[in-house]
Amino acid sequence: MNLNLLFENLTNPALLFFILGIVAVYLKSDLEIPPNSSKFISLYLLFSIGFKGGQELSHESFSFEIMWSIVFGLMVALLIPLYTFFILKQKLNIYDAGAIAAAYGSVSAVTFVTAVAYLESVQLVLHGHMVAIMALMESPAIIAGLVLISYFDKDNETQIKKSNALKHSLTNGSVLLIIGSLVIGFLASDKQAQGIKPFTDDIFKGFLAIFLLDMGIVSGRKLNTLLSNGWFPFVFAILVPLFNGSLIGLLSGAITDDVSSRFIFAILAASASYIAVPAAMKITVPKANPGLFLPMALAVTFPVNITIGFPIYYYVVSTF
């Protein structure tokens, strides 16, 4: 592995702002990003990624490789919840196991956005169809988690409204925005896209740094809640994403030779949703403990991915 690349990633300003947010919490600082500002920045990042992805997609020709990439992404989103559920069920109740399995089968838009910045640092370009695949991978994992909970809930103590969960996973704001921006970017001409390029490109990294500062503050506040649940969730949140990302990064070589796309596949497999899945589980499985699966995804898996995960996945896809 290229240690210089690892060091460069660890000294990336965006990552350091994330660490600063955690430090601020433990120093009991009053540093805080206003909720409305945080929401605006997250919407901006999703809009920018979607629009640029649509522009890239408009220059791509639909091929069997893209078709198989879509199928591969959907299979990953379905299979990860299946195997992780049975691991989790050994130590946790079925409600928490199903919710965590859904979170780790689904994807993190914020991790995806951060990965795009990492691609730029190694002079690689994100392909538009990978943005579409990211959006498509959100729903299958939620559905898989709900089906598993429903099947193993022998006493039928939880009334799971699958139609509500499906609707929420498809109309979730982050999914809707990134798909909508993808379509708009696809339809816009190069000349039209150039007119808003300063907004979609030039200020992207600055907004990403501020957003990760906010994520660091949120993560720091939730870490103690996770640690109070014992060692198993903490270890799971570290090892399983690294395994998923490395394995899918390796297997993606059978679908495409493109290093950029393979890296994104690894990121999608390694990331865990802490926006769409918690919201869906709150509606459909109220017995699932958000104090468990939310900090696992946000306070452990997210920083693990952006610190040591990115260089590992890049090494795997560029070497094998």
Residue 311 has pLDDT above 70, yes or no: yes
* Residue 9's pLDDT band (cuts 50, 70, 90): low
Residue 29 has pLDDT above 80, yes or no: yes
* Residue 169's pLDDT band (cuts 50, 70, 90): low
- Amino acid at residue number 48: S
The answer to whether the beta carbons of residues 38 and 31 sit under 8 Å apart is no
pLDDT score of 79: 96
Alpha helices in 172-286 (DSSP H): 173-187, 190-195, 197, 204-227, 231-251, 259-270, 276-284
In order of their start, the domains of the chain are 20-25+34-319 (1.20.1530.20)
Mean pLDDT, rounded, for 207-220: 87
Q: State phi, psi for 276 to the nearest 5 degrees.
A: -65, -45
Distance between start and end Cα atoms, the chain? 12
pTM (predicted TM-score): 0.83
Closest CA to 236 of 100, 79, 77: 100
Cα–Cα distances (Å) from 131 to 80, 181, 289, in that order, read 20, 10, 30
Mean pLDDT, rounded, for 105-129: 89
Mean pLDDT, rounded, for 270-294: 82
pLDDT greater at residue 167 or residue 184: 184
Tokens encoding 188:
């816009």
pLDDT score of 4: 64
Residues 256-277 have pLDDT tens digits of 999 999 999 999 999 998 877 8
Closest CA to 108 of 225, 278, 313, 234: 278
Query: For the chain, what is the largest distance between any 2 Cα atoms, rounded to a whole number of angstroms?
Result: 60
Mean pLDDT, rounded, for 220-249: 91
Which residues have CB under 8 Å from 176's CB, separation 6+? Answer: none
Dist CA 266 CA 268 (whole Å) = 6
* Residue 43's pLDDT band (cuts 50, 70, 90): confident
Packing angle, helices 173-187 and 35-58, rounded to 10: 40
Among 127-136, 168-177, 271-280, 285-294, which stretch is predicted with the lowest mean pLDDT? 168-177
The answer to whether the beta carbons of residues 181 and 56 sit under 8 Å apart is no
Which residues have CB under 8 Å from 264's CB, separation 6+? Answer: 112, 115, 119, 126, 130, 133, 134
Q: Which of 44-53, 143-152, 245-254 has the highest mean pLDDT?
A: 245-254
Residues 138-150 have pLDDT tens digits of 778 888 888 888 8
Q: Residue 57: how many CB atoms within 10 A of its CB?
A: 20
Mean pLDDT, rounded, for 175-189: 85
Which residues have CB under 8 Å from 51's CB, separation 6+? Answer: 181, 182, 184, 185, 188, 193, 196, 200
For tokens 């699932």, name the residue.
Answer: 288
The answer to whether the beta carbons of residues 220 and 22 sit under 8 Å apart is yes
